[in-house]
Chains A and B, each alone.
Chain A
Amino acid sequence: MIPPHRMAEPGWAIAATVDVTGQVCPMTYVRTKLKLETLSEGEVLEVLLKGEEPLRNLPRSAREEGHEVLLIETLGEQRSRLLLKKGRAPERRG
């Protein structure tokens, strides 16, 4: 059965989920960043987080690295959910 919150965004297929509710900053974005690296450009990552600090920091860090924040959703009990669309990876020399 599809969880109710996943039915709200037709067209946004979630490629992976990372739960950082048990982490403190900056490990919240470290874990998120490592998971994003496993995805291809354009794929969507679901991030489950807890607290105000990650809710403030994580979207900003993701945007700074070229990813798109598709959704920020509060779930209650200080929990939130983000959907991030992976941006283009930086080019490196050969």
Chain B
Amino acid sequence: MALSEGDIVRFSRQILLTPVGGRGQEALGAASTLLGGAGSAQAVAGAYLAAGGSPVVLRARPVEPSEVGFLFTAEEVGEDAGTCLKAALMDVLPEGRGGAPPVGRLGELPAGFAGEGPWVALGWVPGSETGVVVYRTAEGCPGCFEETAGELANGPARAISVLLGAAGALAYQRLVLGLSEPLGAIQVSAREPLSPWPLRRCGGHR
């Protein structure tokens, strides 16, 4: 989709980035994303994706208590999350965007993934404060993606959820812009810089 004059002004700082440019911004605008699962990291990721120009869509489901504090208020618990998200993101991604079926999936585990991709999963190493972002393009093995994500768990909202969500959005954008390998994972923690997380291989790749 060609950039409108409003898009050029709104995303000018992003267009200036060498890896993005006008073509990259158009690609981000076409990368409508279905947010799956529920959680504060997913909400943060959705906000960053929308602010970067990618429409985000939520399936009809209630706002969970774990999502309160960033995009959702305590009064919105139980309300339709899609409607609440749309209102919350109105300032960063104006009305009229989206409409096309989502092409990618970003989900806070547990979440289902379908379609070609890109896919990004956000999860937690069980019993720890370490979050993990698992990602794949259409060329990355879905089996290996699911094996790696399958070891991760959901977790309560915490301050590090913001970093996990931001890292997930960045991973998704890099996939859309063609800047990323087809399959990978990174770990996110308060005490360590972002670093690779070991992939688990599926039966076809062991």
Segment at the interface with A among B14-22, B84-92, B120-128: B14-22
Contact B13 A26 (CB under 8 A): yes
Which 4 A-B pairs have CB atoms at the shortest separation, nearest pair first?
A: A92-B178, A34-B22, A30-B12, A93-B178
Q: Compute how far the CA of A4 lies from the CA of B139 in the bound complex, rounded to whole angstroms.
A: 53
Majority DSSP secondary structure for residues of B touching A: loop
Contact A94 B178 (CB under 8 A): yes
Closest to B23 in A: A37
Q: Bits for A58-94, please: 1 = Cβ < 8 Å to B, else 0.
A: 0001001100000000000000000000000010111
B179 within 8 A of A: yes
A14 within 8 A of B: no
Closest to B138 in A: A94
Interface size on A, residues (CB 8 A): 15
On whether A30 and B139 interact (CB within 8 A), knowing A92-B177, A93-B180, the answer reads: no
Q: How far is the CB of B21 from chain A (nearest CB, A)?
A: 6
Closest to A31 in B: B8
Contact A34 B8 (CB under 8 A): yes
Q: Hey, which bits of chain A sit against chain B, CB under 8 A?
A: 26-27, 29-31, 33-34, 37, 61, 64-65, 90, 92-94
Closest to A33 in B: B21
What are 21 sample pairs from A and B whose C-beta atoms fall under 8 A apart?
Answer: A27-B9, A27-B12, A29-B16, A30-B8, A30-B15, A30-B16, A33-B15, A33-B21, A33-B22, A34-B3, A34-B15, A34-B22, A37-B22, A37-B23, A61-B16, A92-B179, A93-B137, A93-B178, A93-B180, A93-B181, A94-B139
Interface size on B, residues (CB 8 A): 20
A-contacting residues, B1-52, CB 8 Å = 3, 8-9, 12-13, 15-16, 18-19, 21-23
Q: How far is the CB of A25 from chain B (nearest CB, A)?
A: 10
Chain B residues whose C-beta falls within 8 Å of the C-beta of A34 in the assembled complex? 3, 8, 15, 21-22
Q: Compute how far the CA of A92 lies from the CA of B179 in the bound complex, rounded to whole angstroms.
A: 6
Q: Compute how far the CA of A38 lies from the CA of B80 in the bound complex, rounded to whole angstroms.
A: 43
Contact B16 A33 (CB under 8 A): yes
User: Most chain-A CB neighbours within 10 Å: which of B18, B19, B181?
Assistant: B18
Q: Bits for B173-206, please: 1 = Cβ < 8 Å to A, else 0.
A: 0000111111000000000000000000000000
Q: Compute how far the CA of A92 lies from the CA of B180 in the bound complex, rounded to whole angstroms.
A: 9
